[in-house]
Structure 1
Amino acid sequence: MFTSVLMISGVLAGFPASAAPATAVRWAACPEDATAECGSLRLPVDYENPAAGTFDLAVARRKATEPAKRIGVLLVNPGGPGGSGVDYALRTNLFGPDIYARFDIVGWDPRGVSRSQPVMCSTELLDHPASIFPVNQAEFDALRAYNRTLLDDCRRRTGPLAEHVDTASTAQDMDRIRRALGENQINYFAASYGTLMGQQYAERYGDKIRTMVLDSNMDHSLGVWDYAGTESAAVEATFTEWVRWCGRTPSCTLHGKDVIQLWRDVLARADRGELTDPDHPGATLRAQDIINTASYQLYRPVEYASLAAYVLQLDEQPKSRPVRPRTPAATESNSVYQAAVCSDWNFPVRTFAEYQALEARERALAPLMRGGTVGHTDITACVGVHDPVKNPQHPLKIRNAPRILMLDALYDPSTPYAWTVNAHQQSKDTTTLLTYDGWGHSSYDRSGSPCVRAAVDSYLTTRVAPAPDSHCAAVDPPGAATAAALENRTGAATLHAR
C-alpha cells in the first residue's frame, strides 16, 4: 500500500481508511468543514493486476439537506487533470438549494491528486521547465529531455501509482465509489476534464447511470492536428469576443482604446524583456506568460474586467523594476498533469520539423493569441515520452445508458464548443446537446445564465432532458463594478489546466 499524510495547498490530506477494499466508506467529519463527511476507499493501483498494490482514494459527502426528498447520490468532479473533487463537493454554492436538498453530493480526489496518493514531483523541476516553444533543434531536444526527466522523477517519488492515473482507471474508481455507497445508480455532474471521466464511465457502466451532466466536453477522438487546431481557433475567437466586450462596455478600463494594438504592444514589450510579473516583482514576464494568464481569465466572464485591468497595468508598467527574490518553495509538489495527459492522449510530435509545422498551424489559426497555450501545453508535455499510451483516443460509443445532457458555451477558450458538438454527434442516440450562446468555460458554474442552471437542475431532478439542440441566450459579461461585487460575494475559483 502506498500512503501519504501531508499538507497540500494548506489542506490536511489524512483521511480515515476503509476497513476493506471498496466495501464501505468509514465516514468522519471533514477536517475542512465539519458539516460534511470525509473518508476513503482502498482500491487497486492497477485493475489489470490487483496484486500489484493498493492506494487510498479520498472521498467527501455533503448529505441531502431534506432526507425525505432525497433522490440519490450526485457524484461531482471539477476537471483538471488535477482538480480536487473533495474540494468541489465541500463547496456550498455550486448548486442551488433544491439540488442540495435532494442529493448527497459526493466528490473524490482522482488517483494521484491531492489526498488520493498524490503524484509528487520535484518542485525545482516544475518551476524550471524547458521552453514549450522551442525555436531550434537544441531547444526541442531540451524539451524532450526535460519531459522524460520530469516523468521519471515523479514516478520515483510516487511509486507505481504514477503509471496508473489514466481516465480509464478513474472510470473504474467511480464505479467502486458507487458500489461502496450501496447505490444501484449514480447521478453525475462534471466540468471540463471531468467530462472525459463521465464519458468513459458511460461507455463502460451505462446502466449504472440515472442522470449525467457533462459541461464543457473533452473530445477524445481527436488526433494531434485537430486537437491543436480546434484549441487555437477557440481561444482566438474567445479573445476576440473579449475585445468586442471592451468596445461596448464603458466600464472596461480599455474602453475607447485600440485594444488589439495595445495587446500587440504589450506582447512586444515582453519579447524585449521590458516587463516584470506583477505578482512576483523582479521576475521577467514573457509573452507566453501574459497569453497564459489571459487564457485563464477568459474562462470566466466575470473576470473580463480584471483581464482589461491586467493588460492596462502591463501597458503602463515602467521599463525596469527592482528585483525581489521569490519565497523558497517546498522540495516536492503534487502534479499529476503530465502523467495523466500522456496516459490519455497519443500526441506524436517526434521531430523538430513536425513541431514547427504544428506551431505554424496554431499561430495561423490564432494570430492574436500566438496559437494559444492550453492545448499547446497538453501536446508539448508529451514530447519525448515514449511509453505506450494506456488510454488512447477513440470515438465515443455510449450504449445502454439513459439520456445524457451535454452542454457548452459557443465561446469556450479551453474545451472548444466544437469538441462538445463532436462528442454529441458520436453519441447522438444517448446524448442531448444544450448550447449556451455566450462565453466562458463551464457554463453551469461560470456563465451566470439562469436558463442553463434551470435546465440542468430540472434534468437532474426529473430525468427529462431539454429538447434536442436547445439554446440558452447569452448573458453579457458584467462591467467592472458588478464584476468586483460578484467576486467579493463568491470568491475567486481555483483554475486548473481545464
Structure 2
Amino acid sequence: MRRTTVRLAVPLMLLALLGPAVPGAAHAAPPAGSLADTIDWGPCAPEDEAPERVVCGELEVPVDWSRPGGSTVTLALAKLPASDPARRIGPLLINPGGPGGSGVNFAYGAAEAFSDVITDRFDVIGFDPRGQARSQVITCDSDALDAQGAVLYPHSAAEYATLRAANRALGRSCHDLSGPLVKFVDTASVARDMDAIRAAIGARKISYYGVSYGTMIGQQYAELFPGRIRALALDSNMDHSQSIADYQKWETLAMEDSFLQFASWCDRTPACALHEQGALAYFDDLYAKAEAGELVVDGITFLPEFLTQITFGYLYDPAGWFALADDLIDLGNGGGSETRRRGEPAPNGYLPVMCSDFHFDVGGYQRLRALEKAQNRLAPHTRLSPIAWTDLTSCQNWPYRVTNPPHRLHASPQLPPILLANSRYDVATPYQWGRSLAGQLPSATFLTYDGVGHGTYWLSPCAQAAIDTYLVDRRLPAKGTHCPAVFPESPATRKSAPGNPLTPGLRTVTAG
C-alpha cells in the first residue's frame, strides 16, 4: 500500500511561535564584571504588535564559544520592565521550552502568563535561543522533512536504511540553508549565551524560570555558572543523564499512565463524550482498526501511530480532555486531517538541538526493533511515546556530532537553594526525570503536583503560589510537598490558563 505523508498538529516540548527579526543595534557581550546595561532596548518589530511597555533588543554572541573571535549569531530579546520599579528585585530570565520555543513571545505574554507578584517585582526578560525563532532560526528543506516523516516508524531493515539516509540528507539541507550554526545549537552553548545576556544587562546574578526544555537550559547554566544565580525555578524537568533505554522507558510509561488517567476521568465524568462507551475500550478498538489498515480518515488510511500522536497533544493539559473524546469519536467516524504545503524551507530548530544534546544513534535495525518491542510491552494501550520515539528515530545517522553529551549534572557547592517542580503524570517530561534531577542537585527542593499535565505553573494554583513565593522571597516549600490534582468537571468550567506557553507545535507524522 502506498504511503501518504501529511502534517498534523502534534505537540513537542515546545511553543513554535516564529516571527520577524527584532530591530535594534547589536552588541557584543561586555566583560562579566560590568554592571552597565549595554542592550539598546527600544520598540519591538511593528508587525509583532508587542504589548504596551515591552521593549526589545539584540545581542551578538559567538557561534562557537571555543572561538570567541569568530563568526557571531544575533540573539533577539524582549523585556517587560517591573511594574513596581521601587520594589524591583532584578531580572527574571525565562524560557518556555522546545527546543524551539520563543522566549521573546513568552516575554510578550508575560503579563498574562505570570502572577502580578512576578511582573510587579521583576524585569521579565525572554530571549529566542540561537537557531530558534528570531535568533537566526534553523531552516531545512521541507521535502527532506517530508521524506524523513515518511519513515520515522520503520518496520523493516530496509525502511530503517531509508530513514538513516533521509536523516542525513535532512541534516545537510539544514546546513545548506542555515549555515554552520546548525552544528552549534546545543544547550551548553545556549547556557553560555544566557550568561552573556546576564553580563550585557549589567546583572551580577539572575533569577530564572524555565519550563520543559527550558529546564535543561537552567540546569546547564547552574552547572557552568553556579555563582551567578539568585534563584532558579525549573518546572517540568528534563534529565540530561538519561540513557537511550531509560529515555524511551520513562517517556513510554508517562504516555501510558497519562492516557489511563484520561480514561479513568472519562469513566467518572458523565459529560465526557466517551463516558458510556468507555474511553479505553474505544481507543483500543481504534488502534486495532489502524493496525488492520481499516482506519480511514478523509479517504486516507492512517497508521496506528497516528492515534498516539493525536492523543499525545491533549495530555499536556486536562482542559482539552473533552475535546480529545470528541476528536477520537470523529476519527472513528472517518473525519479530520490536516495538511501543509510542501517544497519550501521550513523552520526546524528542534532536531539539531536534540541530536546535539543526546547520543541517540542505536546502530543497527535489530536494536531499534528490540527497543520498540520493549516499549510495546510497557504500554499495552498507547504502545510508545511518540515524542521520545521520533526523537530517537530522527537522530539516527545525523550528520553532525553530539557536542553536548548527556551526563549527570556536576552540582557546585556555590549553588543556592533551587526549586524543582513536576507533575505526577506528565506526558512530555516524566515524573521520574524530575526525581532523578533532584538527586543530582543537593540544594534542590522537589515539589510534586499530583495531577496530569505539562507545566505545573498553569495547572495548579498550589504549584504557582509555591513558585511565586520562591522566586520573590527565595522561600522554599517544605520538603516532600504535594499539590492536589485538578480535573475539569465540564467543558465550561475548566479552560487552559491565560498565557500558558505550552501549546502544541508541529511535528512530522506519517499516514498510510
Q: Does 1:204 align with 2:224?
A: yes
SS at match of 1:29: coil
Alignment equivalent of 2:361, drawn from 315, 325, 348:
348
State the 1:156 CA deviation. 1.1
Give the corresponding residue for 2:252: 232
What letter corresponds to residue 190 of structure 1 in structure 2?
A: G
8 Å CA contact 1:131, 1:143 repeated in 2? yes
State the 1:174 CA deviation. 0.4
What letter corresponds to residue 185 of structure 1 in structure 2?
A: K
Give the corresponding residue for 2:473: 462
Distance 1:145 1:430 in 2: 45
Give the corresponding residue for 1:334: 347
Q: Which has the higher contact order (CA 8 A, sep 6+)?
A: 2
Residues 373 and 19 of structure 1: is their aligned pair in 2 closer, same or farther, counting only changes over 3 Å? closer
* Greater CA drift, 326-335 or 252-261: 326-335
Deviations 1:114-154 (A, max 9, x none): 10011110122223424222111100001101111111110
What letter corresponds to residue 258 of structure 1 in structure 2?
A: G
Give the corresponding residue for 1:104: 123
8 Å CA contact 2:188, 2:404 repeated in 1? yes
Give the corresponding residue for 1:13: 21
Alignment equivalent of 1:80, drawn from 83, 98, 101:
98
Residues 494 and 128 of structure 1: is their aligned pair in 2 closer, same or farther, counting only changes over 3 Å? farther
What letter corresponds to residue 16 of structure 1 in structure 2?
A: G
State the 1:260 CA deviation. 1.7
State the 1:24 CA deviation. 2.2
Distance 2:506 2:223 in 1: 25
Residues 331 and 353 of structure 1: is their aligned pair in 2 closer, same or farther, counting only changes over 3 Å? same
What letter corresponds to residue 110 of structure 1 in structure 2?
A: P
What letter corresponds to residue 143 of structure 1 in structure 2?
A: L
8 Å CA contact 1:301, 1:478 repeated in 2? no
Segments of 5+ residues of structure 2 without an aligned counterpart are: 1-15, 31-36, 508-512
Residues 113 and 436 of structure 1: is their aligned pair in 2 closer, same or farther, counting only changes over 3 Å? same
What letter corresponds to residue 504 of structure 2 in structure 1?
A: L
Residues 487 and 437 of structure 1: is their aligned pair in 2 closer, same or farther, counting only changes over 3 Å? closer
What letter corresponds to residue 192 of structure 2 in structure 1?
A: Q
Q: Does 1:38 align with 2:56?
A: yes
8 Å CA contact 2:424, 2:449 repeated in 1? yes
Give the corresponding residue for 2:7: none
Give the corresponding residue for 2:438: 424
Segments of 5+ residues of structure 1 without an aligned counterpart are: 1-7
Distance 2:156 2:302 in 1: 22
Residues 48 and 189 of structure 1: is their aligned pair in 2 closer, same or farther, counting only changes over 3 Å? same
8 Å CA contact 1:80, 1:496 repeated in 2? no
Distance 1:329 1:259 in 2: 35
8 Å CA contact 1:206, 1:401 repeated in 2? yes
What letter corresponds to residue 217 of structure 2 in structure 1?
A: M
Alignment equivalent of 2:483, drawn from 459, 472, 475:
472
Deviations 1:31-89 (A, max 9, x none): 32152111110110000012330010011101111101111111000111111111111
Percent of paired sites with the same residue: 39
Structure 1 residue runs of 4 or more that deviate by more than 6 Å after TM superposition: 488-492
SS at match of 1:93: helix
Alignment equivalent of 2:504, drawn from 487, 495, 498:
495
Residues 209 and 153 of structure 1: is their aligned pair in 2 closer, same or farther, counting only changes over 3 Å? same
Distance 1:284 1:78 in 2: 35
Distance 1:326 1:348 in 2: 30
SS at match of 1:169: helix
Q: What TM-score do you get using the length of structure 1 for normalisation?
A: 0.91
Alignment equivalent of 1:163, drawn from 174, 180, 183:
183
State the 1:426 CA deviation. 1.4
Residues 66 and 379 of structure 1: is their aligned pair in 2 closer, same or farther, counting only changes over 3 Å? same
Q: What TM-score do you get using the length of structure 2 for normalisation?
A: 0.89
Deviations 1:241-283 (A, max 9, x none): 1100001111111112132221122223334555455xxx555
State the 1:104 CA deviation. 0.7
Matches within 5 A, 1:61-76: 61-76=79-94
Residues 295 and 325 of structure 1: is their aligned pair in 2 closer, same or farther, counting only changes over 3 Å? closer
Q: Does 1:407 align with 2:409?
A: no
